[in-house]
Amino acid sequence: MPNVISRTCFALTIIGLSFALASCGYNTIPTLQEQAKARWSDVQNQYQRRADLIPNLVSTVQGYAAQEKSVLTGVVEARAKATQIKVDASDLTDPDKIKAFQDAQAQLTGALGRLLAVSENYPELKSNANFLALQSQLEGTENRIAVARRDYIDAVRAFNTALRTLPTIIWAKTAFAGEKPMAEFTANEGAQTPPQVKF
């Protein structure tokens, strides 16, 4: 009989400790970290979608505006640079890698803006169905990028806050002592000035 009682007490202790760990924030840090990583995947997915649209857009514009070779070359080069910089989940705590990724994407955004501005000089291009469809898809992708970045920033904010607030700071300093705050996106220089692109 004492053996049954000791096993029951042990089982109840384990169950009690499980509930205590679950309610004290132990799971919060890994949960928020995984959410931030998932949001980063969304960001990368949207940037990849944009990169996939660019060759078709360049080809369409090239057919009408071959003399704008420097603009077309700039877009192709910016796309190549932007797709070469890879930031995976293990790099999210390195602000320099996030900044390099962000800078490359900003250069591509600028190059695309110049390409779309060129279309103003070619009325037949502006009325081309392929160009209009690609332009619409690109606009939708830019909106998706903005939403994905916002969601990532929110997820990172929640994770970074959990590393510094009670009760999760206790776990951050003990069980998850190796976890560093994740880097956020920051506004690029000149982000307050809207681009001068006319359609």
Contact between residue 93 and residue 181 where contact means Cβ atoms under 8 Å apart: yes
The mean pLDDT of 33-48, rounded to a whole number, is 96
Q: In CATH, what class is 2-173? A: mainly alpha
pLDDT above 90 for 193: no
Q: With CA atoms as reference, report the closest residue to 89 among 139, 140, 155.
A: 155
Whether the full predicted model's pTM is greater than 0.75, yes or no, is yes
What are the sequence ranges of the domains in the chain?
Answer: 2-173
Write out pLDDT tens, residues 130-183: 899 999 999 999 999 999 999 999 999 999 999 999 888 988 999 899 999 999
Q: Omega before 167 cis (within 30°)?
A: yes
By the 8 A CB rule, do 25 and 171 touch?
A: yes
**pLDDT value of position 67:** 81
> 47: closest CA among 101, 110, 2?
101
What's the CA gap between 59 and 52, in Å, rounded? 12
3 state SS for the chain: CHHHHHHHHHHHHHHHHHHHHHHCCCCHHHHHHHHHHHHHHHHHHHHHHHHHHHHHHHHHHHHHCCCCHHHHHHHHHHHHHHHHCCCCHHHCCCHHHHHHHHHHHHHHHHHHHHHHHHHHHCHHHHCCHHHHHHHHHHHHHHHHHHHHHHHHHHHHHHHHHHCCCCCHHHHHHCCCCCCCCCCCCCCCCCCCCCCCCCC
pLDDT per position as a tens digit, 62-120: 888 888 888 999 999 999 999 999 999 899 999 999 999 999 999 999 999 999 888 88
Residue 42 pLDDT > 60: yes
Of 21-30, 37-46, 147-156, 174-183, the poorest mean pLDDT is in 21-30
Q: Is the pLDDT higher at 1 or at 129? A: 129
**Rounded to an integer, what distance in angstroms lies between the CA atom of residue 62 and that of residue 155?**
40
